[in-house]
Amino acid sequence: MRTIDDLDVAGRRVLVRADLNVPLKDGAITDDGRIRASLPTIEALRARGAKVIVCAHLGRPKGEVKPEFSLAPVAARLGELLGADVAFASDVVGDSARAAAENLADGGVALLENLRFEPGETSKDDAERGAFADRLAALAEIYVGDGFGAVHRRHASVYDVPRRLPHAAGGLIAAEVEVLRKLTEDVARPYAVALGGSKVSDKLGVIDNLLGKADRILIGGGMVFTFLKAQGHEVGKSLLEEDQLDTVRAYLRRAEEAGVEFVLPVDIVAATAFAADADHAVVAADAIPADRLGLDIGPESGKLFAARLADARTVFWNGPMGVFEMEPYSHGTRAVAQGLIDSGAFTVVGGGDSAAAVRQLGFDEAAFSHISTGGGASLEYLEGKTLPGLQALED
Ligand code: ADP
Ligand code: MG
């Protein structure tokens, strides 16, 4: 894969596909981690005299212009972080975008409006996507793929534009790929994987593939209740995916055959409602009261999980262990994050919410070997799938 070091960019218009899909609340950015992560590539290109045109998506406006998904606040924050003006185009490939691209000075930066305001960006129809890709590609002379969080999507800005322009991987994608290789080739063992988050169905593919690769799989978060139920336990009103019970049972059996250790929580923080101020108590994992819902792994489980991480040499963690957004249910996630740090292993955190949890709980990001900016993308890579955005950069 070519990197930006292999490109001659001075005085040329470079389209950078970044991942700037930050969480917003009432129009304000609540976590600017992804903007920060995209800075090194943008700064390197500027320093070499490129005219940098950044494009990205925000949320799911589904091909329509929806002001609440405008990238305008991101343009402002990007400008602050770069310490430079960022020209914001009020459309994606229209007059405003063309003017912004044409008016750039060497070293200048422009940001286009949300790619997903255009139906062509995500279209399943190759011709419709291609027509949009033509217009996007026409804004620039070179393409740099740096939006790791989107490389698993066959979208115009990810897959079709690099096939129309000379291209290279930005620093973020290059770094992510290097890390993911360490999780799939010549892995240092023991290799432990901690999985949490809300839905089992999101993570089935990765569990499937990891059953042949990891030594231990620790399960927490909302998905744990499908596992507990599969073992025949009451889970009360906790998150449950009934339709995945058979699959989960098959995984538990396969793990036993393959000698992969599944580590499930022994206690659960069970609350009367999905609320920070709800009555809550620590209960045994096999005795969740029928009128309660599990919102975190319990303190004994936190200790158990940390102990099962302590001697690992490689750890991949995806998905919070509980509803960390509410303080009473954040302790399991804290224990696992601390367990990763204390293990001294090569530690990778994947997933937008997991990365946000690390920051929200006050951990030093540098204490982890790598925090991935792309949850879905890193999971699909670990599932063993071909990622369209990486494939396009490699060709
Ligand atoms: P990531 O973005 O790191 O891949 P996910 O998107 O899969 O993680 O899941 C994150 C969400 O899972 C968080 O918002 C968290 O509140 C939720 N979650 C974790 N544990 C539970 C639980 N026990 N019940 C309901 N939701 C949960
Ligand atoms: Mg998430």
The structure's pTM equals: 0.84
DSSP annotation of 384 reads T
Within this chain, do residues 255 and 212 fall inside the same structural domain, yes or no? Answer: yes
Within this chain, do residues 295 and 232 fall inside the same structural domain, yes or no? Answer: yes
Within this chain, do residues 265 and 367 fall inside the same structural domain, yes or no? Answer: yes
Give the pLDDT confidence score for residue 33 in this predicted structure. Answer: 85
19, part of any domain = yes
355, part of any domain = yes
| Total domain count, the chain | 2
For the CA atoms of 194, 196, 200, 206, the dihedral, rounded to the nearest 10 degrees, stands at -30
Give the pLDDT confidence score for residue 111 in this predicted structure. Answer: 98
Within this chain, do residues 306 and 168 fall inside the same structural domain, yes or no? Answer: no
Based on the residue annotation, tell me whether 199 is a catalytic residue of this protein.
Answer: yes
DSSP annotation of 329 reads G
Output the residue whose Cα is nearest ligand 1's atom 7. Answer: 197
What is the extent of the structural domain holding 214?
187-383
Within this chain, do residues 211 and 340 fall inside the same structural domain, yes or no? Answer: yes
Residues of the chain with pLDDT under 50: none
Token readout for 327 is 């303080």
Ion ligand 2: residues, Cβ under 5 Å: 352-353
**Residues facing residue 297 across a β-bridge:** 268
Taking the CA of 198 as reference, the closest ligand is 1
Residue 262 belongs to a domain with what CATH number?
Answer: 3.40.50.1260
394, part of any domain = no
Within this chain, do residues 145 and 236 fall inside the same structural domain, yes or no? Answer: no
393, part of any domain = no
Based on the residue annotation, tell me whether 25 is a catalytic residue of this protein.
Answer: no
Within this chain, do residues 201 and 298 fall inside the same structural domain, yes or no? Answer: yes
Give the pLDDT confidence score for residue 186 in this predicted structure. Answer: 86
Last residue of a domain, one of 175, 197, 214: 175
Q: Could you identify the atom of ligand 1 that is nearest to the CA of residue 294? A: 23
Within this chain, do residues 254 and 348 fall inside the same structural domain, yes or no? Answer: yes
Name every protein residue with a CB atom under 6 angstroms from any ligand 1 atom: 196-198, 202, 221-222, 239, 294-295, 318-320, 322-323, 325, 351-354, 375
Within this chain, do residues 163 and 194 fall inside the same structural domain, yes or no? Answer: no
Sign of the torsion angle spanned by Cα atoms 88, 93, 95, 101:
positive
Note the Cα 381 to chain centre separation in Å.
Answer: 12
Q: What's the burial of 390, exposed, middle or buried (CB within 10 Å: 0-12/13-18/19+)?
A: buried
d(CA 149, ligand 2 centre) in Å: 11
**Among 218, 353, 381, 382, which is best to mutate for testing ligand 1, by the most ligand atoms less than 8 A from CB?**
353
In whole angstroms, give the CA distance from residue 67 to residue 90.
11
Within this chain, do residues 80 and 131 fall inside the same structural domain, yes or no? Answer: yes
Last residue of a domain, one of 125, 144, 175: 175
In whole angstroms, give the CA distance from residue 23 to residue 353.
10
363, part of any domain = yes
Give the pLDDT confidence score for residue 376 in this predicted structure. Answer: 83
Give the pLDDT confidence score for residue 200 in this predicted structure. Answer: 86
294, part of any domain = yes
3-state SS assignment for residue 186: coil
Output the residue whose Cα is nearest ligand 1's atom 25. Answer: 222
Give the pLDDT confidence score for residue 277 in this predicted structure. Answer: 97
Q: Which of 268, 365, 368 is CA-nearest to residue 317?
A: 368
Within this chain, do residues 243 and 154 fall inside the same structural domain, yes or no? Answer: no
Last residue of a domain, one of 118, 146, 175: 175
Token readout for 175 is 């770094």
Sign of the torsion angle spanned by Cα atoms 39, 43, 44, 50:
positive
Give the DSSP H or E segment for 13. strand 13-17
DSSP annotation of 159 reads I
Within this chain, do residues 109 and 214 fall inside the same structural domain, yes or no? Answer: no
130, part of any domain = yes
Indicate the length of the chain as a whole number: 395
How many C-beta atoms surround the C-beta of residue 196 within 10 A?
29
How many Å is the maximal CA-CA distance in the chain?
Answer: 66
389, part of any domain = no
In whole angstroms, give the CA distance from residue 8 to residue 78.
24
Amino acid found at 7: L
**Among 323, 330, 334, 381, which is best to mutate for testing ligand 1, by the most ligand atoms less than 8 A from CB?**
323
Output the residue whose Cα is nearest ligand 1's atom 15. Answer: 323
